[in-house]
Amino acid sequence: MPPKWRTEPRFPDGPSPDPAGSHHERRIRSFQPRRSRVTTGQGEALKRLWGTWGLDIDGNSVIDLEQLFGGLPVVLEIGFGMGEATAQMAAADPATGILAVDVHTPGQGNLLALAERGGMTNVRVANGDAIILLREMLPPASLAGLRVYFPDPWPKARHHKRRLIQPEFLDLAATRLAPGAVLHCATDWEPYAEQMLEVLTAHPEFENTQADGGYAPRPAFRPLTRFEGQGLDKGHVVHDLLFARRAAPDA
């Protein structure tokens, strides 16, 4: 029998506990669903706003991003935690739509609450596997950017295959990014930063925006997150990587 949380949604009109179905995707997943307590405010936001600003990644249909965001250029953010940084970026740039993906129910509710409180209508929250979203539900060349901030580093060597930034992921991401769109990664785990730089540099569809071929300074638009601050307090070094999707040779 599947675990109870997979079959009985805690919010019947909110995010599904397993939107694509366990049978839909059998690859090694780069994320782990985190089940933690949803506060009253987060739960109320899920009940009230999910039907308007939320969507489940079920893999069954292609999303009309122009309709969903009213014609705004759209940046996909994979993994937003509790959503504070996402909300700050949305408030600072209302002319860009942010499609924010995560599987953490409290974070989904928190981001919805923050967006409502700040009057930010340029945020949509997607629940489920970002790979299914990219592969099955987004049109080619439809994204103006892709953000992957502080993904799970999977530090043990036997788990490195679970890291998101791999050649296969870049192959898929490249098909969904418009020419010139920027893939922006950030991590405070040095070995993962080195791997990111290596695989991005080697990929033929991406070009480093830094002339020296190295890491980028933290852009002003990326807020300093609580998680990042904790890492800095521990002496971790944060690395940003900004790689642009190359244009077609005849463009």
Pull the structure tokens for residue 22. Answer: 């366990």
Q: What is the pTM of this model?
A: 0.89
Closest CA to 114 of 145, 83, 146: 83
Percent of the chain topping pLDDT 90: 79
Q: What is the DSSP string of 147-215?
A: EEES-----SGGGGGG-S-SHHHHHHHHHHEEEEEEEEEEES-HHHHHHHHHHHHH-TTEEESSTTSS-
pLDDT score, position 21: 72
pLDDT score, position 8: 44
Kind of pairing, strands 239-245 and 206-208? antiparallel
Distances (CA, A) of 34 to 8, 50, 107, 151, 193: 16, 19, 10, 14, 24
Residue with tokens 């909110």: 14
152 catalytic residue (yes or no)? yes
> Which distant-in-sequence residues (6+ apart) come within 8 Å of 213 by Cβ?
201
pLDDT score, position 27: 57
Which position among 152, 171, 212, 233 bears the catalytic label? Answer: 152
Q: What is the mean pLDDT of residues 96-107?
A: 96
pLDDT score, position 14: 75
- 2 exposed, middle or buried (CB, 10 Å; 0-12, 13-18, 19+)? exposed
Q: Is the pLDDT of residue 65 over 50?
A: yes
Per residue in 222-247, pLDDT tens? Answer: 998 877 888 889 899 999 999 999 99
